[in-house]
Amino acid sequence: KIVVIDFGSKHNQLITRTIRELGVYSELHPHTVTGEELKSMQAVGVIISGGEEENVYNIDSSVLDLGIPVLGIDSGAQFILKHFGGSSELPANFSTIETDSTGDNVKEKLRHFVENICEAEASWSMKTFIEIEVEKIRSQVGDRKVLCALSGGVDSSVVAALIHRAIGDQLTCIFVDHGLLRKGEVESVVDTFSNQFHMNFIKVDARKRFLDKLTGVTDPEQKRKIIGNEFIYVFDEESAKLEGIDFLAQGTIYADIIESGTATKEVIKSHHNVGGLPEDMDFELIEPLKALFKDEVRAVGAELGLPSEIVHRQPFPGPGLGVRVLGEITEEKLAIVREADWILREEIAKAGLDREIWQYFAILPDIRSVGVRNEKRSYDYAVGLRAVHSVDGMTADWARIPWDILEKISNRITSEVEHVNRVVYDITGKPPGTIEWE
């Protein structure tokens, strides 16, 4: 493997990802990694990837004495020079690989380093990943049992499919239907995991329970808390009914565990993940996706035979439609947002934009306004449409959906969804907006 040491560059994840695209396994580690650790990881090459400014980090100098090739980028290269004498003439046995900043060129230089200098074996593919993980899971679990909280999202779905491939019926999945999913999702999850994969699959119908708890609650943070906590209670209760479970499978992925660069992420909303389970549960954790980037997770899912609607599912907040119905959540409002969202999804797919737009959905603000329908005054809801381009959800730009498609969506929503007489399109970026409205 090739280890990329985070020395402050913004591009570290991209570099790691690019090396994997070359078929060579690569991991990103903090600058505190030691030579000893690199040795035990059997690294065949190291990249010290710094930013353009001089930085304050230090690296365990034994990293440079392992006898494996080291590539320094920007301040990473400065660090190496300083270590070997501090002058701008190159020490013996050194060479420069100059890069300019165009993407292709960087990829070629990385290829040269990885293939020719490190002579790293190109054995990384999603097929081999699955083979290796299946063996690992089998030997870790033996004849014991694993539990998985399935949300229908990409990560938990792929984890379930992978573990099922490894140990079949020793896996049980619990799927909590909290009544806050989009139209068709419950059916799709049940169909995939129960009917097609024939998993031990428990669907808990907790719709009423969630709605009861949410009655009268309008504060967004409070709504998130209630949904998050209720999920834990329901999951706890269900898992307590099962016997002899030793392991809990989780869909942790690489992005969840790497603290990249120096970016500090300010928490603007409490992203309380449904599926975020309490830490004191009495299970050993299995997290087979924790080395994978999101697109690799999708590729594994496709390789395991999951349907494309799950593999390419757009990001969806844990509290689901709970954050898309503004103000108090009621059955009627949920039905409206579900139908409007369905129409939006249909039309975006028909227009061939479904893979192009990162996330798109309908919102129901707590607003009613006057309109006319069949020559009569109406006093009904406005529906908001949101569609954004983004890379990681931290920033976003609103999607320039062609007018005629927006027109069609608006016409369909106002004529097909009861109690809606107005459709608005959100043209705010993030910042200053957020992607969701709550």
- Alpha-carbon distance of 156 to 153, in angstroms, equals 6
- Quick check: 16 binds ligand XMP (CB under 6 A)? no
Residues 104-133 that bind ligand XMP (CB under 6 A): none
Cβ 256 vs Cβ 159: under 8 Å: no
**Mutual angle of helices 294-303 and 126-141, in 10-degree steps:** 80
From residue 222, how far is each of 316, 320, 400 by CA, in Å? 19, 14, 33
- Alpha-carbon distance of 100 to 97, in angstroms, equals 10
Only one residue has tokens 């999202």, namely: 153
Q: State yes or no: 244 annotated in a binding site.
A: no
Cβ closest to ligand XMP, residue 368 vs residue 430: 430
Cβ closest to ligand XMP, residue 79 vs residue 235: 235
- Quick check: 395 binds ligand XMP (CB under 6 A)? no
- Alpha-carbon distance of 408 to 416, in angstroms, equals 12
Q: Which helix (H) or strand (E) holds 334?
A: helix 331-350
> Which region, judged by CB under 6 A, interacts with ligand XMP, from 28-36, 130-138, 271-279, 421-429?
271-279
Which member of 170, 317, 329, 384 binds ligand XMP (CB under 6 A)? 317
- Quick check: 99 binds ligand XMP (CB under 6 A)? no
Which member of 261, 327, 371, 393 binds ligand XMP (CB under 6 A)? 393
Q: Which two tokens stand for residue 66?
A: 């392992």
CB of 55 to ligand XMP, least distance (A): 29
Cβ 221 vs Cβ 270: under 8 Å: yes
Cβ 255 vs Cβ 294: under 8 Å: yes
- Alpha-carbon distance of 57 to 54, in angstroms, equals 9
3-class DSSP state for residue 102?
coil
- Quick check: 436 binds ligand XMP (CB under 6 A)? yes
Q: Which residues pair with 201 in a beta bridge?
A: 173
Sorted by sequence, the CB contacts under 8 Å of residue 339 that are 6+ apart come out as 183, 413, 416, 417
> Which region, judged by CB under 6 A, interacts with ligand XMP, from 180-188, 207-215, 267-275, 410-418?
267-275
- Quick check: 430 binds ligand XMP (CB under 6 A)? yes
Which member of 164, 319, 325, 334 binds ligand XMP (CB under 6 A)? 319
Cβ closest to ligand XMP, residue 288 vs residue 317: 317
- Quick check: 389 binds ligand XMP (CB under 6 A)? no
- Quick check: 315 binds ligand XMP (CB under 6 A)? yes
Cβ closest to ligand XMP, residue 47 vs residue 388: 388
| 164 backbone dihedrals φ, ψ, rounded to 5° | -65, -40
- Taking residues 328 to 367 in sequence order and writing x for each that binds ligand XMP by CB under 6 A, - otherwise, the string is -------------------------------x--------
- Quick check: 272 binds ligand XMP (CB under 6 A)? yes
351-353-355-360 Cα dihedral, nearest 10 degrees: -110
Cβ closest to ligand XMP, residue 209 vs residue 225: 225
Q: Which residues are annotated as a binding site?
A: 151-157
Chain residues in the site for ligand XMP (CB under 6 A): 268-269, 271-273, 315, 317-319, 323, 359, 393, 430, 434-436
Q: Which residues are annotated as a binding site for ATP?
A: 151-157
